[in-house]
């Protein structure tokens, strides 16, 4: 027997300049699982860029790379620990020039240096094992779930322009993995290569060769982890989606080689683009990338149903992000919308470029103080469970809505994003009388209809219907109403580190469930309905 639970929200838009009220409905279907993310969907990256990586006369990386990040900075550990378990991916453009200082490596162990004809303008760089130890101690102490991106160009040579050929030489990576295992360092997944797919960014490799190298790497992982309880998964290619190249990679590598297909997203344009803010607030622009998600979903279903989809790196604006955009409140419209959209399209993990470094860091690269998106990530992580529910909205495209089962408890969490600078969206949570309408529209059989009436609005753990029920609201707005503020307000209170450098509490506001929900212009809200019993959230 199917019980349908439907959360029926009536939306009335109240434009500041009084004209007609527009009313619409948002329907959350609590009976159907649209998709499921990984338990640890939110992920952030640590890159390899040295302090002298510059774009547009800015050098926003400072000392934030895997090689020189200050791991003893108290804000860093606190920011990571606040997630309980944060997924981190170590990788980025220079990944395919990293040497591991272990085993028979013949080259001296130098850091990255500027080099005119080097890939991305830098020489090869080297990771000392002492530093690798430090990183792992940090990851272990802060509960990090680690994806490490391996150098996939090692042993290859440039054939012409950006095309690289030859077989991947696994020796240095093998020695590195062997060392990692001998130390007992937990690696969740090994990723192979960075942005070498399709036409590549700095370099590219043909998909059939890449696929053969993946088979080799899978065998190596299998061998090296023979005695281990946990076997890391294999993730690739960590590049931009290219239909033909991605399909070929799955076809040639074959069943069960690749566990996750990772792709990168920079859908806002260059960091210096003066239109960044207007693109972020434009629903049509935000929607464009849905095509990539959708195509990847179909491609995996068709050519490699054993693999899942990951966003391995996504920073919004490329070339280190946009100053006073990526690091300010307005970026959360893009970021949270991305998390919502990616989950709907079966993405298991979404890695934000970066945890720290560039203009798009969740943490400021010099002060290690969280930027607004840090809090958006944390709220998502704490409130949005892994089951994605269907949301139907016939309202304004400026009001974007996503619904998941609540995290770690009963109920449903809604994410509502108001891109409009002039419309206040008022929603009424309808009672069971109005629900009847919704159910009728769903064409449910007579028998189902009776049951659904009883079940549609079933509040968990409530004996008396007179007892007031609450929902929990988290409203995010920019300080002083300025969308490019570096400070985000939660329910009107600035989110700032405490005097001791701790992440502040993320305090909710309790609201009677029958009162209307109001989403102010240019604001974002998470609304938790802890008492809603949705079948899909069982």
Ligand X SMILES: *[C@@H]1O[C@H](CO)[C@@H](O)[C@H](O)[C@H]1NC(C)=O
Nearer to ligand X by Cβ, of 334 and 529: the residue is 334
Minimum distance, C-beta of residue 532 to ligand X, in the bound complex (Å): 22
Tokens representing residue 186 in the block: 């937990």
**C-alpha R_g of the chain:** 24
Nearer to ligand X by Cβ, of 133 and 467: the residue is 133
Nearer to ligand X by Cβ, of 302 and 422: the residue is 422
The answer to whether the CB of 528 falls within 8 A of the CB of 425 is: no
Helix, strand or coil, per DSSP, at residue 25 = strand
Catalytic residue IDs: 195, 313
Minimum distance, C-beta of residue 167 to ligand X, in the bound complex (Å): 29
Instruction: Show the DSSP H helices in 148-206 as ranges.
Output: 171-182
Q: What is the DSSP string of 427-478?
A: EEE--HHHHHHHHHHTT--HHHHHHHHHHTTPBTT---TTS--EEEEEEEEE
Tracing tokens 């049509």 back to the chain, one arrives at: 284
Taking the C-alpha atoms of residue 414 and residue 401, their distance in angstroms, rounded to an integer, is 7
Minimum distance, C-beta of residue 469 to ligand X, in the bound complex (Å): 30
Taking the C-alpha atoms of residue 438 and residue 83, their distance in angstroms, rounded to an integer, is 38
Minimum distance, C-beta of residue 428 to ligand X, in the bound complex (Å): 19
Nearer to ligand X by Cβ, of 331 and 430: the residue is 331
Nearer to ligand X by Cβ, of 197 and 423: the residue is 423
Nearer to ligand X by Cβ, of 285 and 386: the residue is 285
Minimum distance, C-beta of residue 117 to ligand X, in the bound complex (Å): 30
Minimum distance, C-beta of residue 533 to ligand X, in the bound complex (Å): 23
Nearer to ligand X by Cβ, of 125 and 200: the residue is 200
The answer to whether the CB of 279 falls within 8 A of the CB of 285 is: yes
Taking the C-alpha atoms of residue 73 and residue 279, their distance in angstroms, rounded to an integer, is 35
Other CB atoms within 10 Å distance of the CB of residue 498: 10
Tracing tokens 């992920």 back to the chain, one arrives at: 43
Q: Give the residue from 109, 97, 90, 108 showing the smallest Cα distance to 47.
A: 90
Nearer to ligand X by Cβ, of 107 and 140: the residue is 140
Minimum distance, C-beta of residue 361 to ligand X, in the bound complex (Å): 7
Nearer to ligand X by Cβ, of 154 and 375: the residue is 375
User: Which residues, 6 or more positions from 503, have their beta carbon under 8 angstroms from its beta carbon?
Assistant: 78, 79, 82, 370, 378, 497
Q: What is the DSSP string of 243-266?
A: HHHHHHHHHHH-TTT-SEEEEEE-
Tokens representing residue 78 in the block: 């606190």
Minimum distance, C-beta of residue 329 to ligand X, in the bound complex (Å): 12
Minimum distance, C-beta of residue 91 to ligand X, in the bound complex (Å): 21
Tokens representing residue 117 in the block: 């004809």
Alpha-carbon distance values, 198 to 149, 194, 248, 269, 416 (Å): 18, 12, 11, 19, 35
Minimum distance, C-beta of residue 195 to ligand X, in the bound complex (Å): 16
Tokens representing residue 81 in the block: 């620990």
Taking the C-alpha atoms of residue 120 and residue 56, their distance in angstroms, rounded to an integer, is 15
Taking the C-alpha atoms of residue 502 and residue 496, their distance in angstroms, rounded to an integer, is 9
Tracing tokens 């150098």 back to the chain, one arrives at: 151
Positions touching ligand X (CB under 6 A) are 60, 140, 184-185, 241, 243, 281, 291-292, 295, 323, 327, 359, 364, 366-367, 396, 398, 419-423, 443
Q: Give the residue from 120, 121, 93, 124 showing the smallest Cα distance to 108.
A: 124
User: Which residues, 6 or more positions from 427, have their beta carbon under 8 angstroms from its beta carbon?
Assistant: 9, 10, 11, 12, 26, 516, 517, 518, 519
Tokens representing residue 343 in the block: 């989950």
Nearer to ligand X by Cβ, of 13 and 308: the residue is 13
The answer to whether the CB of 92 falls within 8 A of the CB of 45 is: yes
Helix, strand or coil, per DSSP, at residue 121 = helix
């Amino acid at each position: 027997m199917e019980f349908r639970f439907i959360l029926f929200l009536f939306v009335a838009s109240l434009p500041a300049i009084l004209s007609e009220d527009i009313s619409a409905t948002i329907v959350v279907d609590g009976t159907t699982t649209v998709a499921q993310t990984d338990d640890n969907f939110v992920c952030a990256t640590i890159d390899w860029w040295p302090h002298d990586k510059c774009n547009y006369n800015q050098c926003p990386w400072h000392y934030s790379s895997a090689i020189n990040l200050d791991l003893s900075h108290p804000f860093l550990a606190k920011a990571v620990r606040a997630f309980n378990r944060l997924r981190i991916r170590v990788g980025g453009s220079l990944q395919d020039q990293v040497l591991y200082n272990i085993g028979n490596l013949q080259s001296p162990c130098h850091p990255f240096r500027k080099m005119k004809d080097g890939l991305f303008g830098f020489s090869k760089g080297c990771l000392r094992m002492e530093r690798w130890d430090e990183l792992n101690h940090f990851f272990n102490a802060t509960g990090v779930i680690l994806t490490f991106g391996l150098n996939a160009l090692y042993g290859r040579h440039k054939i012409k322009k950006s095309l690289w050929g030859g077989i991947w030489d696994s020796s240095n990576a093998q020695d590195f993995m062997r060392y990692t295992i001998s130390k007992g360092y937990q690696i969740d997944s090994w990723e192979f290569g960075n942005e070498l797919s399709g036409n590549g960014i700095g370099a590219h490799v043909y998909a059939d060769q890449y696929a053969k190298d993946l088979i080799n790497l899978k065998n190596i992982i299998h061998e090296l982890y023979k005695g281990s309880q946990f076997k890391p998964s294999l993730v690739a290619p960590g590049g931009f989606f290219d239909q033909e190249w991605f399909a070929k990679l799955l076809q040639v590598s074959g069943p069960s080689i690749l566990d996750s297909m990772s792709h990168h997203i920079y859908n806002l344009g260059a960091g210096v683009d003066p239109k960044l803010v207007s693109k972020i607030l434009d629903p049509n622009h935000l929607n464009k990338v849905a095509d990539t998600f959708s195509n990847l979903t179909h491609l995996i279903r068709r050519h490699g149903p054993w693999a899942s989809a990951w966003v391995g790196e996504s920073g919004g604006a490329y070339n280190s992000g946009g100053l006073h955009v990526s690091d300010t409140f307005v970026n959360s419209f893009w970021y949270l919308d991305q998390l919502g959209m990616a989950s709907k399209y079966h993405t298991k993990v979404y890695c934000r470029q970066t945890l720290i470094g560039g203009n798009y860091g969740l943490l400021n690269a010099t002060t290690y103080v969280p930027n607004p998106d840090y809090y958006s990530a944390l709220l998502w992580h704490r409130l949005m469970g892994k089951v994605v529910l269907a949301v139907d909205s016939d309202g304004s495209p400026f009001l974007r809505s996503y619904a998941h089962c609540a995290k770690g408890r009963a109920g449903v969490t809604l994410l509502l994003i108001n891109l409009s600078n002039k419309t206040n969206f008022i929603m009424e949570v309808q009672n069971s009388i109005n629900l009847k309408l919704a159910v009728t529209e769903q064409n449910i059989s007579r028998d189902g209809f009776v049951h659904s009436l009883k079940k549609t609005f079933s509040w968990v753990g409530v004996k008396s219907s007179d007892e007031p029920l609450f929902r929990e609201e988290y409203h995010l707005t920019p300080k002083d109403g300025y969308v490019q503020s570096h400070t985000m307000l939660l329910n009107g209170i600035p989110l700032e580190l405490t005097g001791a450098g701790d992440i502040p509490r993320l305090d909710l506001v309790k609201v009677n469930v029958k009162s209307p929900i109001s989403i102010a212009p240019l604001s974002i809200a998470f609304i938790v309905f802890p008492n809603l019993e949705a079948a899909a959230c069982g």
